[in-house]
Structure 1
């Protein structure tokens, strides 16, 4: 491969992976041995969820990744490698790829990175796929914050409703002219 072609590929990788607005988290997979029809089906299904797969030249990608948030993935770029990125987060990407493992024989999970934490191999990516997404985590935090307030309101309303019931009974007796016992 000529130097000009390599430079062009590096420029493309910098734009996609190391430039402003590039992904800070991604998944490394191998699609070697996957049939063309399966690869196309996988890519089309992922594209609907704004997830992209880019097959990379390992040596060129490693050079571009130096100093970027994706740098820890460079160790996983051996053999046939592709980066999967996009979607809401790498958790969503991991969920989709793991869900497609049975439908796509030959698909290999090499690892992933999320907020600087590296997940290696199939076990690591499967573990990552079980993490909550950002929106799910926010929902869990909101539930935890609101739950004590909800319990407090319930505790206040319980005795208050009992007191209101007693006052209503007293009011009813007074309207009828009955005496109220102590």
Structure 2
């Protein structure tokens, strides 16, 4: 690969990493051409972009990236052939890999790792964890729901016992006037 081609590939990867906040590393080494094409089609249908890359180029790019991104944990996963699945949805590639494996009765593609919100997930056992991860929007919704429920309980208690509170306020007011 010429220097010009390498810099083109690195620039393309840099753009993809800026565009897609989440990416998964897979091992397509033993996949047939038919299975690889089928995986590419399924990626396209689910909004996941697949790119087979040279490990050295990706490692070089990740080393040049912002240190706060915490990519170092991924470096060990770049062994053998690597395909990167880029996505704007953190669960989509995990679900895609699992569904592809079930539909084709295979353990391919192999899962190497993933990068989600500055967190690194390495190893096949992490795939189930990634499928269960909640998005930032889902977590914010849950927190808001939890914060709203006590307020709703207080409001309903005040409405149901409004007469008692009014009586207590009136009694306190009368006691204050008597003193």
* TM-score bucket (shorter structure): 0.7 to 0.9
Compared with structure 1, are the counterparts of its residues 161 and 109 closer, same or farther at alpha carbon in structure 2 (3 Å cutoff)? farther
Q: Which residue of 2 aligns with 1:82?
A: 83
Number of equivalenced pairs: 159
Q: Which residue of 2 aligns with 1:155?
A: 157
8 A contact 1:25–1:70 mirrored in 2? no
Aligned equivalents of 1:142 and 1:75: distance in 2? 39
TM-score (norm. length: structure 2): 0.75
Task: Report the structure number with the largest CA radius of gyration.
Answer: 1
C-alpha RMSD over aligned residues: 2.5
8 A contact 1:86–1:93 mirrored in 2? yes
Give the C-alpha shift of residue 161 in structure 1: 7.9
After superposition, the C-alpha distances for 1:32-70 in whole angstroms (9 at most, x for unaligned) are 222333333333333233211111111111112213237
8 A contact 1:87–1:93 mirrored in 2? no
Query: Quick one: higher RCO (CA 8 Å, sep 6+), 1 or 2?
Result: 2
Give the C-alpha shift of residue 147 in structure 1: 1.0
Q: Which residue of 1 aligns with 2:129?
A: 127
TM-score (norm. length: structure 1): 0.74
Compared with structure 1, are the counterparts of its residues 46 and 14 closer, same or farther at alpha carbon in structure 2 (3 Å cutoff)? same
Q: Which residue of 1 aligns with 2:2?
A: 2
Matches within 5 A, 1:1-182: 1-17=1-17, 21-68=18-65, 69=69, 71-72=71-72, 73-88=74-89, 90-104=90-104, 105=106, 106-160=108-162
8 A contact 1:27–1:85 mirrored in 2? yes
Give the C-alpha shift of residue 154 in structure 1: 2.3
Give the C-alpha shift of residue 153 in structure 1: 2.1
Aligned equivalents of 2:161 and 2:8: distance in 1? 74
Partner SS, residue 100 of structure 1: helix
The gaps in structure 1 that reach 5 residues or longer are 164-182
Give the C-alpha shift of residue 162 in structure 1: 9.0
